[in-house]
Structure 1
């Protein structure tokens, strides 16, 4: 009997046969008519906006590839990012490795250090990425399988005919993910369940009154069960090894099994139990480069395209770059992408120093697609819902906007109506529209409205501010700017931290006519509105201690939002020194008007930009 997808299912209209005989069911998987839901995506095209261009060092050798492929590092919801990639990359990704959250319901944090002090501090909950991806897809037992189902459907569309997928998980999610993958890919496309022993056991884990839990699971699926890349790997025979009959060994070694790090010959301990590991970048769920090196070598070839849509600190991408693969990475966390960007720039430099080729990469975001989708899908395109949601996160109440009657009985609008939207104590609140960049003119309008209302203090909420606007707001004395964080869009989010934008002071150092460098002379980092007093004191006394990275675009075009890295300085876990004056000696060709853009990123991944206009 033929199934009619537009009619309710039932005895006369059965669902089509499933790819597997066993199915995992969760709330929301099927619609009211019994139709299986696909990924929930915006009704409008989702596109990627290129934000940064990061080329290799000028002396880097070129990699011989057919054409120049620019690797991609994307910040945003990976579901929307994959939807944006589909038109160009459908069926073209050779290998996907993902290490998604394990349905743990926990906050994943990163460690940060201040200044040149190597001592690590635990990032406070007030930091934006302290809660970067916890419950970003909701809460409850049904949200995790739905989140993963949607993304795995899109991953399958992106995989090439000979492509492979590796999913890193643990006991909390492996059974669920196995059933979901069996349904999406087919049971026949399951290849292996790899057991990765984490390493030696000590401390609280050893005290458990049970079998000691000490492994993760890596599920290996392919797009086609008979056609996939696999380069078999071997462990070398130990020195002096002989066969039972005394003859020398044949072949390259012991073939790797599906249990890893289970013998002295196969040491692959997690770096999370190695406090001395130089690989560590301070990211809580960071995985070993050796682990990713094994997977990428086995299931891809040089020049192939590797993707990681939960890329975190960028381990997959750094290893792919080292092994001559092209790559695409995505993560929702601002701090994660900041760590990954530094790591990839550092990998470009280290490969260049070795005389090895490396590829350029660009950073992207989803422009305002996430905000527009949130506004239309979750808030029903209602400005009232939009403002009420943000006011609740801020701890403010809506401002009365109904007209008042004058003594003559005439109705008059309240001063500031339409510009002022809320009140928190003695502060009046203005909320910028979801797709707007808050400008100097917007600030002046909001200040005028506040004065007309008799208010002494003003708070302006926006997703993005013009460069250096925070300084102007402070100059007014009674105005404060707060950046709306992406966490405000998460369902069931009870706590949202707003950040005060910072500013940056720079001066041009002329080495010769038309030859320039940049010196940083002042910095105010972005700080949480209600942050740690000790952190604020440190920021006031030694603001550059909170600076983690800065870069220069000597030929910036202010009409487009594209930053071209032409010089960078940054701190790493192993080298805390940060220079405050560039040594590029950038030479301009001929006279004319130029704009220098300087981007500073603090320890929380928040960016501050300064623009300097030159007349040469």
Structure 2
């Protein structure tokens, strides 16, 4: 692929594979919020615009991993490709051999090497992490980028306070800021003055209400060439300060003509300059950020997506370390905050995520923020484009194929992986004039043994769930007996729109404009906040650790059960954990 193929593009798949295909020196800024170890299932709350009973949950991703062949492969590849990083991981092995921390560092190292390769000489990287692993990641970045390329360790205060019963409240994240070279782009950012500072410092006002503060006009160092008498437009000539004036005679005259000088009230007093509040940019942003807080539960920006970061946080980073037209890369793009910020600020962007659900959320978010025409401004890679692509996705990741198939039908994927009770998704729709939505259940089947029994099972599920329509998605073409059994069910719907109660959809059908017939109008899913009427049956629990999935290099995607790891930080969200008295679906 050419460089243009990677600008304004979403990539569904392993970010290591995508990074290795990208041209060198093709990116201006990288922001990444990589995962850590949490051993939990995370859910995104989905619903339709009609709300109420149409809300459901969809499994977002499962972040479970530990030391194994993928981590060992990453370790070997790092040693083969980067001398310093390989030596550092070898030293880490002596302390963390076989641990989840070692797996994390190995997986990150092999990706950071590629990120440095794709960065332009003027580029920068911001690695978002928390204090549990930030010190190891900083040493790893030193090895890959070089210690002299370290720019800042930024502390972001996420909360005002956090009630951790046995420790000091964990309220901050860390942003490790590195440059590719000393030629990095950096645009200084400012935050507004506080009301207290304005009241204290800008104490004076012009007749038109413009606030200003006095500013010294004396040169801080001796300047013989600027030691002159100055005659102001009030007719008074002022003697120079002992070191001379700060400005040339022409600049002093221009300030005077514009009303920018403050004449002393008493004879022999010192001439001053007016420092107008509305001409000041504000306080330069320092390396401790306390003015951007985590998204609140009632914020309209909140998507109910795990690890979602505030848009203002990404706007600051992108504004500071890139210019309009530059390319911003987020290799763990999640719900797409960096993507939206880049689009809003006139940058080009590249987003990569391993879950199709994340890609779906980002596309919906872009449409909501920028309108339907935004779809014409970017390319989507990794999403199946035809039946062959769909079969390849099913072979690579069956769960992601199920989600993709359900979403392709306009439905909501099931809320959790595992035993599904015959339901892989729900399609919600409503009839004209009827506020209460109806629904169709979706069952996605693969393998060579799909047959009439699966149609019988779907009939039972429809009856059990009180659904109106059942959709059976088949990876392989259905036989004549299956179609006959499906057709034996009566049609449903109003007289003007009768449809088959049991519908069989092939992979080829999924690429049609209308793959299913519904006896009403589709309620397309969108990410929403929960309504008071909807209360999940599962209780709320605390989840410790960052939550976006760490991608494997290759191999088996099935993660074994693993022991709990040390806490990283506490985040409130919906979590489903396996327990002795609960069967995880």
The normalised TM-score by structure 2 is 0.51
Secondary structure, in 3 states, of the residue corresponding to 2:300? coil
Distance 2:103 2:15 in 1: 16
Asked which structure has the greater CA Rg, the reply is 2
Partner of 1:146: 106
Q: How do 1:139-538 and structure 2 match up within 5 A?
A: 140-201=100-161, 205-224=162-181, 226-238=182-194, 240-243=198-201, 248=213, 249=275, 251-261=280-290, 266=291, 268-271=292-295, 274-349=296-371, 360-365=377-382, 437=388, 484-485=398-399, 524-526=441-443, 538=465
Q: 1:107 to 1:221 in 2, by over 3 A?
A: farther
Partner of 1:601: none
Is the contact made by 2:336 and 2:351 (CA closer than 8 Å) also made in structure 1?
yes
Distance 2:322 2:400 in 1: 35
Is the contact made by 1:118 and 1:576 (CA closer than 8 Å) also made in structure 2?
no
Distance 2:174 2:168 in 1: 17
Answer yes or no: is 1:81 the counterpart of 2:18.
Answer: yes
Q: 1:575 to 1:327 in 2, by over 3 A?
A: same
Is the contact made by 1:153 and 1:184 (CA closer than 8 Å) also made in structure 2?
yes
Secondary structure, in 3 states, of the residue corresponding to 2:156? strand
Structure with the higher helix share, 1 or 2: 2
Distance 1:482 1:103 in 2: 23
Q: 1:436 to 1:317 in 2, by over 3 A?
A: closer
Q: 1:242 to 1:256 in 2, by over 3 A?
A: same
Q: 1:113 to 1:570 in 2, by over 3 A?
A: closer
Partner of 1:113: 47
Distance 2:154 2:282 in 1: 20
Distance 2:9 2:150 in 1: 29
Q: 1:526 to 1:192 in 2, by over 3 A?
A: farther
Distance 2:293 2:315 in 1: 14
How far does residue 282 in structure 1 lie from its aligned partner after superposition?
1.7
Distance 1:100 1:218 in 2: 11
How far does residue 118 in structure 1 lie from its aligned partner after superposition?
5.0
Answer yes or no: is 1:99 the counterpart of 2:33.
Answer: yes
Distance 2:131 2:324 in 1: 33
Secondary structure, in 3 states, of the residue corresponding to 1:275? coil
Q: 1:238 to 1:207 in 2, by over 3 A?
A: closer
Is the contact made by 1:132 and 1:332 (CA closer than 8 Å) also made in structure 2?
no
Distance 1:155 1:347 in 2: 29
Greater shift in the superposed pair: 131-140 or 170-179 = 131-140
Greater RCO, CA 8 A, separation 6+: 2
Partner of 2:526: 572
How far does residue 253 in structure 1 lie from its aligned partner after superposition?
1.4
Per-residue CA deviations over 1:339-368 (Å, capped at 9, x if unaligned) read 111112222218x7xxxx997111111889
Distance 1:358 1:303 in 2: 18
Answer yes or no: is 1:131 the counterpart of 2:62.
Answer: yes
How far does residue 175 in structure 1 lie from its aligned partner after superposition?
1.1
Q: How do 1:591-610 and structure 2 match up within 5 A?
A: none
Is the contact made by 1:527 and 1:536 (CA closer than 8 Å) also made in structure 2?
no
Partner of 1:72: 9
Q: 1:81 to 1:501 in 2, by over 3 A?
A: same
Is the contact made by 2:130 and 2:172 (CA closer than 8 Å) also made in structure 1?
yes
How far does residue 84 in structure 1 lie from its aligned partner after superposition?
1.7
Is the contact made by 1:118 and 1:573 (CA closer than 8 Å) also made in structure 2?
no
Secondary structure, in 3 states, of the residue corresponding to 2:339? helix
Secondary structure, in 3 states, of the residue corresponding to 2:371? helix
How far does residue 333 in structure 1 lie from its aligned partner after superposition?
1.1
Q: 1:121 to 1:291 in 2, by over 3 A?
A: same
Partner of 1:597: none
Q: 1:182 to 1:117 in 2, by over 3 A?
A: same
Per-residue CA deviations over 1:137-167 (Å, capped at 9, x if unaligned) read 5673321111100110000011111001001
Distance 1:185 1:112 in 2: 41
Distance 1:503 1:119 in 2: 12
Secondary structure, in 3 states, of the residue corresponding to 2:307? coil
After superposition, the CA RMSD in angstroms is 4.9
Distance 1:75 1:258 in 2: 34
Is the contact made by 1:103 and 1:173 (CA closer than 8 Å) also made in structure 2?
no
Distance 1:278 1:122 in 2: 19
Distance 1:179 1:563 in 2: 51
Distance 2:469 2:511 in 1: 30
Q: 1:252 to 1:160 in 2, by over 3 A?
A: same
Is the contact made by 1:280 and 1:573 (CA closer than 8 Å) also made in structure 2?
no
Q: 1:523 to 1:541 in 2, by over 3 A?
A: closer
Secondary structure, in 3 states, of the residue corresponding to 2:201? coil
Per-residue CA deviations over 1:497-541 (Å, capped at 9, x if unaligned) read 7997789999xxxxxxxxxxxxx999543569999x999955835
* Partner of residue 467 from structure 2, selected from 540, 561, 565: 540
How far does residue 336 in structure 1 lie from its aligned partner after superposition?
1.2
Distance 2:148 2:389 in 1: 53
Distance 2:357 2:52 in 1: 19
Aligned residues: 353
Is the contact made by 2:123 and 2:179 (CA closer than 8 Å) also made in structure 1?
yes
Partner of 1:584: none
Per-residue CA deviations over 1:366-398 (Å, capped at 9, x if unaligned) read 889xxxxxxxxxxxxxxxxxxxxxxxxxxxxxx
Is the contact made by 1:73 and 1:329 (CA closer than 8 Å) also made in structure 2?
yes
Greater shift in the superposed pair: 326-335 or 338-347 = 338-347
Secondary structure, in 3 states, of the residue corresponding to 2:293? coil
Is the contact made by 1:94 and 1:306 (CA closer than 8 Å) also made in structure 2?
yes
Is the contact made by 1:164 and 1:228 (CA closer than 8 Å) also made in structure 2?
yes
Distance 2:287 2:463 in 1: 50
Structure 1: gaps (5+ residues): 1-46, 49-66, 369-434, 440-461, 466-480, 489-494, 507-519, 545-557, 578-616
Distance 2:128 2:387 in 1: 39
